[in-house]
Amino acid sequence: MNSVKVGLLGMGVVGSGTWTVLERNAKEIARRAGSTIEITKIAALNVEHAKSLVNNKAIITKDAYEIIKDPDIDIVVELIGGDGVALDLVMAAIDNGKHVVTANKALLAKHGNKVFAKASEHGVMVAFEAAVAGGIPIVKSIREGLTANRIEFAAGIINGTTNFILSEMRSTGLPFKEVLKQAQELGYAEADPTFDIEGVDAAHKLTLLASLAFGIPIQFEKAYIEGISNLSSDDIIHAEKLGYRIKLLAITKRREDGIELRVHPSLIPSGCLLSNVEGAMNAVLVKGDAVGPTLYYGQGAGGEPTASAVVADLVDITRLHTADPENRVPHLAFQPESLCNIPILPIEMVSTSYYLRMRVKDRPGVLADISKILSDLNISIGSMIQQCSDKDSEADIIFITHDSIEKNINISIKKIESLEFMCSKITRIRIEDIS
Amino acid sequence: MNSVKVGLLGMGVVGSGTWTVLERNAKEIARRAGSTIEITKIAALNVEHAKSLVNNKAIITKDAYEIIKDPDIDIVVELIGGDGVALDLVMAAIDNGKHVVTANKALLAKHGNKVFAKASEHGVMVAFEAAVAGGIPIVKSIREGLTANRIEFAAGIINGTTNFILSEMRSTGLPFKEVLKQAQELGYAEADPTFDIEGVDAAHKLTLLASLAFGIPIQFEKAYIEGISNLSSDDIIHAEKLGYRIKLLAITKRREDGIELRVHPSLIPSGCLLSNVEGAMNAVLVKGDAVGPTLYYGQGAGGEPTASAVVADLVDITRLHTADPENRVPHLAFQPESLCNIPILPIEMVSTSYYLRMRVKDRPGVLADISKILSDLNISIGSMIQQCSDKDSEADIIFITHDSIEKNINISIKKIESLEFMCSKITRIRIEDIS
């Protein structure tokens, strides 16, 4: 049986997961691939730790370039993360004619166009199933499973940390900061959680999904990003009463005039499958014009789930590396020369419905004044709730609008907030009636 | 740009859906495939109907062999159904060196081993994404997306007709026969619904999933099949109260001593994603040792959803037909020489928990007698509900057992039914605590 030789860069959680899965399932994987897939060299920052995990200590090195220059290695697996040294190593590996497998969404979201162009130039593959939604084969499903379709939108819960926090906030009623602390203690959130809780990680992944869905270059810098750190438990409770759950949703949608690309907290109907994705799980809903709605669900992070995607890519490359480069599946689903520069729409042009919560003085005329501002801006109200607040003389009002242009919503918020009877800023959360 | 020439056998719902999707999305598909994919000949029983759908009437023929013998045609798409003439045509197409795409689960479940062997012999591909769960890319996900994993089980709702009927029975409280009639009027059930409602269609698909998951030959004749025609609305209501929904579940599970392969109504926990798959939708839950649980959801039938899978297969073949046959993805996920003959377990050896409902005379000692029979057979009771029936002197009892061997359950049912105080047969429904 043929053997494919792999060099592993990085022996953290996903690196050691990949090593473990390839070892444990070697026979099962070879039965599928028709070749054995063997890690013949591992570069690790912490050499001692790596040696503790591997029987054959001789394959561990501190020098990543030893792997990249090794003529016996067919595929380099980059599991270092970030876009510093990892980018240099990936580019050097491609220059040396290696195929690359990576789980690095930050790198591809920021430098993917350059990386894929270089890969095409050298006739090698850069596979990245593990970069989006961990073990869920979402890259393959969009890129190969839905090729018949004009994709209409993809919307997903693609950051496990934030979904865990939101699920906990809902079930315990605790505030964000407290739940974040718990998540850090349980290992669901990092010591510096900024990338996760501010939506940056989800936006990295969304940017890749948008390219796969619509055949556009990767344009991370144009994504609208809003995290969950300002969400209050109150809004989660109000949402529940109104028949919604709040999720950090990553959405990319094709419209006639361009493409929406946005990550932010969203109210989604409690009955739909996406709203029932709880804890650290991920799910992506993809709608195509022929297939209709499809949903993909699974673990979006963790050593072995992510390794599952890494190894699937290794098997794919094992099968395809003897094929004509031009007959391989294109990196971004569409042939490189067929990528289109459809404009990414600024958030002000997004059209959706909105949840607006505010506290006002409880007296006549308040509702009339607010309603007039909304109607003047062509914002129509789907439903409204007014309830007593904890102060006698004040009331809380929640509006659910029909679909409106965000620009108009922003203007209305400014105008309403300047009214003399307002006792709070307005909390604005977008609503997605997806299914 | 290259052009791949396709001959279409059958112009029914899926045939015309395939024609429509290839026409409407021709540009989008070519941007992905790097070739145009063109239907150059269509064989239809009803030539006039086919001509009404297609501008270029000259490509319509009544003679399917005209397509199979056409040297210009690269790929034959078989959308006739059944395993009579369709089998002859598929075998002849392979003999003539054509690649084949088919949506025909009955044909593959019964003759797949023979079909794939002949295809390998001739170096052609037989692609069948459309044969399982319509537009959901489940074949690709298991075969290519989860190659790293030792699959533990696959469990799915893979027949839309029965899921529609069960959803309606639950929401309306109407009996099976009445809902079936509605389903027929709405086009969700065929005039002769036997294949769907008796679980045969689901078993065809499950048989293929089992081979893809475990690397075993296709063994439809060993599947256990039980349909939904005997389900009563009472059981659906009782299930709901106990925190379950009833679904027609197709399950294949790897155990140490063999593989379970079974289709039957199942109680599944109301909170899990599968139980929330309603109406004619399909979903498959696949658990791998590395990735954990993953779920795939979408439309399992209908013209365009199924066409989505047919066209995805056409694109795959377009890409792979110049590749070495030995480097292509194997038909059944594992290399043909690596298929294992793991035994399929008879239903008597299945181990799961059970819902047992019975009516008894309301008098002392009844519970003691029944409990003794169960405990003598090593069946332990998880919970029990006793309630008044519509007759004063009788009571309804429902037992939920812990995991037990089906053989013992069968013996216990026989013994209990022979007790003198029994007023009914026992209704037995299996419970799956999957997640």
* B327–A305 C-beta distance less than 8 A: no
Decide if A323 and B320 are in contact by the 8 Å CB cutoff: yes
CB contact under 8 A, A312 and B24: no
Q: State whether residue A145 sits within 8 Å of chain B by CB.
A: yes
Q: Are B291 and B280 in contact (CB under 8 A)?
A: no
Do residues B73 and B61 make contact, with C-beta atoms less than 8 angstroms apart?
no
Q: How far is CA A333 from CA A141, A256, B160, in A?
A: 10, 21, 30
Does position A435 have pLDDT exceeding 70, yes or no? Answer: no
Contacts with A294 from chain B: Cβ below 8 Å: 135-137, 296-299
Flag if B135 and A29 touch (Cβ within 8 Å). Answer: no
- The region of weakest confidence among A167-176, A381-390, B305-314, B346-355 is A381-390
Per-residue pLDDT of chain B (435 residues; tens, 9 = 90+): 789 999 999 999 999 999 999 999 999 999 999 999 999 999 999 999 999 999 999 999 999 999 999 999 999 999 999 999 999 999 999 999 999 999 999 999 999 999 999 999 999 999 999 999 999 999 999 999 999 999 999 999 999 999 999 999 999 999 999 999 999 999 999 999 999 999 999 999 999 999 999 999 999 999 999 999 999 999 999 999 999 999 999 999 999 999 999 999 999 999 899 999 999 999 999 999 999 999 999 999 999 999 999 999 999 999 988 778 888 999 999 999 999 999 999 999 999 999 999 999 999 999 999 999 999 999 999 999 998 888 889 999 999 999 999 999 999 999 999 999 999 999 999 999 886
Quick check: A423 and A365 in contact, CB under 8 A? no
Contact B89, B78 (CB under 8 A): yes
pLDDT at B320: 86
Contacts with B328 from chain A: Cβ below 8 Å? 319
Q: Is B141 exposed, middle or buried (0-12, 13-18, 19+ CB in 10 A)?
A: buried
Residues of B labelled as active-site residues: 205
Give the C-alpha separation, B312 to B314, whole Å: 5
* Angle, alpha carbons B87-B89-B90 (nearest 5°): 65
Task: Tell me the C-alpha distance between A413 and A407, whole Å.
Answer: 10
Structure confidence at residue A321 (pLDDT): 81
* A287/A290 Cα distance (integer angstroms): 9
Q: Which of B129, B135, B147 sits opposite A311 (nearest CB)?
A: B147
A13 is in an annotated binding site: yes
Interface check for B150 against chain A (CB to CB < 8 A): the answer is yes
Q: Which residues of A touch B333 (CB under 8 A)?
A: 32
Q: Which residue among B21, B294, B327 sits closest to A148, beta carbon to beta carbon?
A: B21
At A5-14, the pLDDT tens digits run 999 999 999 9
Per annotation, catalytic residue among A205, A247, A253, A287: A205
Could you tell me the domains of chain A?
A: 2-137+303-338 (3.40.50.720), 146-298 (3.30.360.10), 351-431 (3.30.70.260)
pLDDT tens-place string over residues A30-81 = 999 999 999 999 999 999 999 999 999 999 999 999 999 999 999 999 999 9
Residues of A whose CB is below 8 A from B326: 34
pLDDT tens per residue across span A182-207: 999 999 999 999 999 999 999 999 99
Collect all residues of chain A within an 8 Å Cβ-Cβ radius of residue B212. Answer: none
A·B CB contacts under 8 A: 232
**Interchain CB distance below 8 Å, B292 and A135:** yes
Please write the tens of the pLDDT for every residue from B234-248.
999 999 999 999 999
- At residue B435, the pLDDT reads 67
Mutate which of A77, A101, A128, A144 to test chain B, going by most B C-beta atoms within 10 A?
A144
β-bridge mates for residue A293, sequence order: A287
* Annotated binding-site positions of B for NADPH: 105
Q: What is the DSSP string of A243-269?
A: TEEEEEEEEEEEETTEEEEEEEEEEEE
In a mutagenesis test of the A interface, which of B136, B147, B211 is the best target, namely the one with the most A β-carbons within 10 Å?
B147
Chain B closest CA to A45's CA: distance in Å? 25
Which residues from A are below 8 Å from B135, CB to CB?
288, 290-292, 294
Contact present, B397 and B360 (Cβ < 8 Å): yes
Cβ A32–B147 below 8 Å, yes or no? yes
Residue A412 Cα, gap to closest chain B Cα (Å): 38
A368/chain B closest Cα distance in angstroms? 41
Residues of chain B positioned with their CB less than 8 A from the CB of A137:
140-141, 144-146, 294
Which of A29, A148, A330 is opposite residue B148, by nearest beta carbon? Answer: A29
Rounded CA-CA distance B46/B48 in Å is 6
Distance (Å, whole) CA B266 – CA B406 = 14
User: What is the distance in angstroms between the Cα of A151 and the nearest Cα belonging to chain B?
Assistant: 10
Q: CB-based contact (8 Å) between B215 and chain A?
A: yes
> CB of A397 within 8 Å of any CB in chain B?
no
